[in-house]
Amino acid sequence: MLLRTLIPAALLLAACSGPADAPAGESVIEVKDAFIVKPAEGRDVAAGGLMAYVTGAPVELVGASTDVADRVELHTMTMEDNVMQMRQVESFTVSEGEPVVLQRGGNHLMLFGVDPAIAIGDTVDLSLEFRDSDGTSQTLVTSADVKGLGD
Ligand SMILES: [Cu+2]
């Protein structure tokens, strides 16, 4: 009975507080340098990247979305038998002192069905979903720079 009254109150508190005034013990997440690469002419698949830092308990980056793509996946990139292999993964762990670095040539975001109207130099909203160890979600919206293939 006591738990039932406490849990909704705790969830409400988490949902209402931004990173700046997060209560002690909660993970504070910061995302920097987000970007997506404008696909080559006639293609609609693009890579993207970002840096994600956490202060406090580790969190998992479990998903991403944006208005300018149908779907965003989390991918790893590894060398297997001298061939670069990309694989979709469920999540990346962000720990204090161990940021998640997503970039071209390494672990990255993969966007499918990218809007051909985006232009190099645009910024687009990228929504990121993080989950902490007790299953609480935090959604963070960051702005991502649209870069060219060679930038
Ligand atoms: Cu990929």
* Structural contact between residues 51 and 100, judged by C-beta atoms closer than 8 angstroms: yes
Q: How far apart (Å, rounded) are the C-alpha atoms in residues 111 and 146?
A: 12
Cβ atoms of 16 and 8 closer than 8 Å: no
| Report field, pTM of the whole predicted structure over 0.75 | yes
- Give the Å distance between the CA of 27 and the centre of ligand 1: 28
Is the C-alpha dihedral spanning 34, 133, 5, 10 positive or negative?
A: negative
In one letter, which amino acid is 21? Answer: D
Domain annotation for the chain: domains and CATH numbers: 31-147 (2.60.40.1890)
Q: How remote is the CA of residue 108 from the centroid of ligand 1, in Å? A: 6
What is the 88 CA–ligand 1 centroid distance (Å)? 7
Smallest Cα–Cα separation from 149: which of 42, 65, 32? 42
Per-residue pLDDT of the chain (151 residues), as tens digits, is 444 444 444 444 444 444 444 444 589 999 999 999 999 999 999 999 999 999 999 999 999 999 999 999 999 999 889 998 999 999 999 999 999 999 998 999 999 999 999 999 999 999 999 999 889 999 999 999 999 988 7
